[in-house]
Amino acid sequence: AEHQHARYNPLRDDWVLVSAHRVKRPWQGQLEKPPPEDVPRWDPNNPLCPGATRANGEVNPQYEGTFVFPNDFPALQPDAPEPDDSDHPLFRAAPARGVCKVMCFHPWSDLTLPLMSLPEIRAVIDAWAELATELGASYPWVQIFENKGAMMGCSNPHPHCQVWASSFLPNEACLEDRTQRQHLSQHGVPMLLEYAEQEAHRKERLVVENADWLVVVPYWATWPYQTLLLPRRHVCRLQDLSDSERDNLASIMQRLLIKYDNLFEVSFPYSMGWHGAPSGPYLQEDCRHWQLHAHYYPPLLRSATVRKFMVGYEMLAQVQRDLTPEQAAERLRSLPEVHYK
């Protein structure tokens, strides 16, 4: 807790430098005002609101729950042409096709997941599983992710996430596929199943838990209050969760996100996403090495206005953090589970 050391991340096969003493240094860097929270419940000019007109001229239905539609500015399209052949191995290109969707969690713009009811969060989980099944029938990778807050580049405060399905396995998926496959081969148990059992026993990095799930600040965390959401049983994909597991997932997500908001009494920014076994052609392959999990990457370090920047040493040498995962977990664990609002 007092001296610098390096920790190994078996999921990414890399290392993080932990320098806990640095959090004591005075801060004279960038300060920012917390984002305004006076978001109107409904705004006819907000393209994610019910009844609003989007950039392509389409009018949203008067939806009352979740609402999924094709991204009007997709990063991936299903009919992109093949790139030209390379004339040199240092200048390679490959096809990249797919579809991008947007999913609104709720018709109200002034709600976020921790302020939604458990049935409303459960509806989001069911919609995630439906999209994973639908798009995963043909695409190898379906990435569900939420960027929350302007600090994380979110351009619209309305509660929503994105789903990108791609014709290829992205870098992080390839990396986690390799490390989890190696771990199962060498140790005979899925890496993150074994890891969840260890963390449930050790408890020093545990934030919240219930009968089916646990949330930890991982031993190898890079972001200050990064967490990892893990199921207790071996499950490969989101769509494989049982009814009770989905109910308990809604509950543990709400508890975690309330703690996040309570940490600095602000709508807590983060990027989160689900990782599970590849789909499409991989549905017919042995994917027992995979364990479903969700990553939460929040940037805030000291307050609602001071974030952790991945710059300098982090970009040029190795990721470094300023407080130990155990300290971060204890602080999150001790926070109330009643929202500060």
The string of DSSP codes covering 164-218 is EEESS--HHHHHHHHHHHHHHHHHSS-HHHHHHHHHHHH-TTEEEE-SSEEEE--
Residue range 164-223, pLDDT digits in tens: 999 999 999 999 999 999 999 999 999 999 999 999 999 999 999 999 999 999 999 999
Determine whether the annotation assigns residue 320 to a binding site.
yes
Known catalytic residue: 183? no
Amino acid 64: pLDDT: 97
Task: Say if CB 16 and CB 220 are below 8 A apart.
Answer: yes
312 Ramachandran zone, left/alpha/beta (phi>0; psi -120 to 50): left
Residue range 83-94, pLDDT digits in tens: 999 999 999 999
**Count of CB atoms within 10 A of residue 93's CB?**
10
Give me 189's structure tokens.
Answer: 């148990």
Query: Which residue, chain included where needed, has tokens 């300098």?
Result: 312
Residue range 36-83, pLDDT digits in tens: 568 899 999 999 999 999 999 999 999 999 999 999 999 999 998 999
Amino acid 302: pLDDT: 84
Q: Which has more pLDDT, 15 or 24?
A: 15
Task: Express as a percent the part of the chain with pLDDT over 70.
Answer: 95
Alpha helices, DSSP H only, in 230-283? 243-264
pLDDT of 27 strictly over 80: no
Determine whether the annotation assigns residue 183 to a binding site.
no
Residue range 133-166, pLDDT digits in tens: 999 999 999 999 999 998 888 889 999 999 999 9
Determine whether the annotation assigns residue 20 to a binding site.
no
- Cα distances (angstroms) measured from residue 25 to each of 241, 311, 330: 45, 17, 21
Determine whether the annotation assigns residue 24 to a binding site.
yes
List of domains in the chain: 39-81+93-334 (3.30.428.10)
Angstrom distance (rounded) from CA 275 to CA 289:
13
Question: CB under 8 Å to 87, separation ≥6 — which residues?
Answer: none
Amino acid 34: pLDDT: 63
Question: CB under 8 Å to 40, separation ≥6 — which residues?
Answer: 109, 110
Question: CB under 8 Å to 274, separation ≥6 — which residues?
Answer: 128, 132, 143, 144, 145, 238, 292, 293, 294
Average pLDDT over residues 288-316: 93
Q: What is the pTM of this model?
A: 0.95
Angstrom distance (rounded) from CA 147 to CA 182:
31
pLDDT of 100 strictly over 90: yes
Angstrom distance (rounded) from CA 85 to CA 92:
8
* 21-7-208-128 Cα dihedral, nearest 10 degrees: 120
User: Average pLDDT, whole number, for the chain?
Assistant: 94
Question: CB under 8 Å to 220, separation ≥6 — which residues?
Answer: 7, 8, 9, 10, 11, 12, 16, 325
- Cα distances (angstroms) measured from residue 341 to each of 202, 234, 250, 269: 33, 36, 20, 16
Crossing angle of helices 171-187 and 191-202, rounded to 10°:
80
Which band of pLDDT confidence, cut at 50, 70 and 90, is reported for residue 244? very high
**Which residue in the list 3, 5, 88, 160 is annotated as catalytic?**
160
